[in-house]
Every structure is written in structure tokens, then in C-alpha cells.
Structure 1
Amino acid sequence: MSASDQRVSVREVADPEGMHELGIELGNVLRAGDLVILTGPLGAGKTTLTRGIGEGMQVRGPVQSPTFVLARTHPSLVSGPSLVHVDAYRLADAAELDDLDLDFDGAVVVAEWGAGLVETRDAWIEIVIERRRGADEAEEAAEPDWSEAPVESRTVTITMTGSRWAEETL
């Protein structure tokens, strides 16, 4: 793919509610055959974004992390495509993803930790979620008090690759 086949959008997302809203926005434009690759550290908001996608697509929920089952399918409630939510963390390569026999053509596939698994697709969206790291993070990591963890904004970079995304506005 050439650079002209890619469109990049960068957004600042203030909080989990904003991440969910971004997901709803994405869910409203996704259609059968779309692949969304999510990248970001633990706790970045990948599953929160996917919950929003599911809400925007109007699929049966709840949408939750598929960590222990590798993939969950959420059927549409409105005759649209299903949402297949994949946790690719434990998959070694695209061949293992293929072994899951996912419906890439008839569903929307959202793959957390899926970078590097898109070689066989013509078009996809890659979303990289980054959070700021404070100067005192190493000290805080030693004894975290999760009940008082601050809500940190995220930088979300959305790269749309392929002709499917040439005209779409996000």
C-alpha cells in the first residue's frame, strides 16, 4: 500500500467516556468486512473503545475483553453485521488468527493486540492508543493505589488503510 492509500487522524481523548463515544462514532460507520486493529498498553482503553463500537453497531452485549476465550462474537440486534472481538495477544502470527476461522467478510472484526496480523487484508483501520507517562511513574508503580488513579487523557492515532477508507470521514 502506498502512502496515498492511508489517511491518518489524531485525537486527544480526555477520559473513558470520550473513548466510548469515539467507539460509538466508529461503530456507526463500520460495515461487514471491516477490520480494526487496536494497539496500546494494558489499561489504555482498547476494550472501552470496543464497547463503544458495539454500541454504535447495535450488537448484543455486553462487550467485554475476550482475553481468556480469544474471540467473542456479538450478533447484531438490527440486521447489521456481527462484531467479532478478538484478543490476539497470545497469537503468534496471521496463520493462528486464520485458524480461528473468523468471519472476516460477513462481520466487523476488532482485534486487540492485532498489529502485524493484517497482511492478508486489503483494507483496515489501525488504532494506536497512547497514554501520557508522568515523571513519577516508576515510583508510583511500586505501590499503586488504584482507587485513586487519576484519569489520564489518551492520544488516539487512527490510520485508515485501503480504498475502503478513501472517502470515509472519522
Structure 2
Amino acid sequence: MSINFVTSHPDETKALGRKLAALLTAGDVVVLSGRLGSGKTLFVSGVAEGLGIGARITSPTFLIAKSYVKGFLPLIHADVYRLGSVAEFDDLGLLDSGADGAVLIEWGEAVAEALPKDRLNVSFAMDGDARTISFEPVGGWATRDLGVLT
């Protein structure tokens, strides 16, 4: 069962990310999908704020992944758009590296077969300035109360 939100301002998108941070625990994987410019990195910056991470969050496109450890929970922010295969994703060891924190993966649908069965899929769709952000809990995430996001 998906839960959908519509945001019409960047501050609202970040605020939704801050709310998600309250649900995150060690080992969580969140997969972010949506077109370029749809708000994925902005959302991650909200999650980071919610985790008490004071660093400026930027897209990890050219680095593949960035780690942030100064917060309530370590955060790995990855962008797997440039990876050529699931094997390349596995070689990075992001899921193992993020076992003590949360891993947020942009463009994760490209490596879906390598992702854990327990994850939260978050998709971003644009319509002018509005963003529809859909949360789809998978596996163990289905038992979590996503109502705190409202």
C-alpha cells in the first residue's frame, strides 16, 4: 500500500525528508526514483537534517556514494545512475557499509535485484512546481507506521 504526498515548495519536500528520518534505524535501505530534478537530493538533505547531520548534502552522482557519520544515525547517500551492472553495485559494498546506519539510493531501480527485500521505495513525479512523492513499503517496512509522515 502506497502513501502519496504532494509538495509545492522545496521546503515541503525537505520537511517530508525530516519526518522520514524519525523512522530510520540501522540497516534501513530507502530507494529513491524519479526524473532528474524531481527532488530526490533535496529530500535526502531533509533526511540528513532530521538525523542531526549538519553537512551540506549534494548529489553524489560523480562520487557514486557519500557517507555522513556526524548525526544520530550514520547515512550513506548513493547515486547508482552511472553504474553499468548489478555486479558493480555489489562490488561497492554499500549495503554492508551502511549496516550501522541508513542507506538512501538514488536511481536504485536500476539495481533492484541486488536490493534487500525489506526496504522503502520512494518515487518522485513532477507536475510543474508540484511534486508527488509516493512511499511504498516493501517487506518489513510494511509493518512500520508511515502515518508519522503526515
TM-score (norm 2): 0.88
Match of 1:106 in 2: 100
User: Which of 137, 143, 146 is the matching residue for 1:160?
Assistant: 137
Return the alpha-carbon distance in structure 1 between the equivalents of residues 19 and 41 of structure 2.
15
Q: Superposition RMSD on alpha carbons, in Å?
A: 1.5
1:129 pairs with 2:124:
yes
Q: Is the 8 A contact 2:32 2:122 kept in 1?
A: yes
Match of 1:91 in 2: 83
What is the aligned residue count?
Answer: 144
Return the alpha-carbon distance in structure 1 between the equivalents of residues 79 and 110 of structure 2.
13
Question: C-alpha deviations, 1:104-163, integer Å up to 9, x for none?
Answer: 321211111111424341311111100116xxxxxxxxxxxxxxxxxx011111101112
Counting only pairs closer than 5 Å after superposition, residues 59-98 of structure 1 correspond to structure 2 as 59-77=53-71, 80-98=72-90
Q: Is the 8 A contact 2:30 2:121 kept in 1?
A: yes
Return the alpha-carbon distance in structure 1 between the equivalents of residues 50 and 87 of structure 2.
30
Match of 1:142 in 2: none
User: Which has the larger share of helix?
Assistant: 2
Task: Tell me how far 1:100 sits from its aligned partner.
Answer: 1.2
TM-aligned CA distance change 1:27 to 1:167, over 3 Å: closer
Question: C-alpha deviations, 1:72-102, integer Å up to 9, x for none?
Answer: 000033xx32110001100133321121122
Task: Tell me how far 1:60 sits from its aligned partner.
Answer: 4.3
Q: Is the 8 A contact 1:118 1:124 kept in 2?
A: no
Amino acid at match of 2:93: D
Amino-acid identity (%): 31
Task: Tell me how far 1:168 sits from its aligned partner.
Answer: 2.1
Question: C-alpha deviations, 1:17-74, integer Å up to 9, x for none?
Answer: 1100000001111111111111111111010000001011112411111111110000
Amino acid at match of 1:21: A
Q: Is the 8 A contact 1:60 1:75 kept in 2?
A: no
TM-score (norm 1): 0.78
Amino acid at match of 1:75: V
1:46 pairs with 2:23:
no
TM-aligned CA distance change 1:132 to 1:164, over 3 Å: closer
The higher radius of gyration belongs to 1
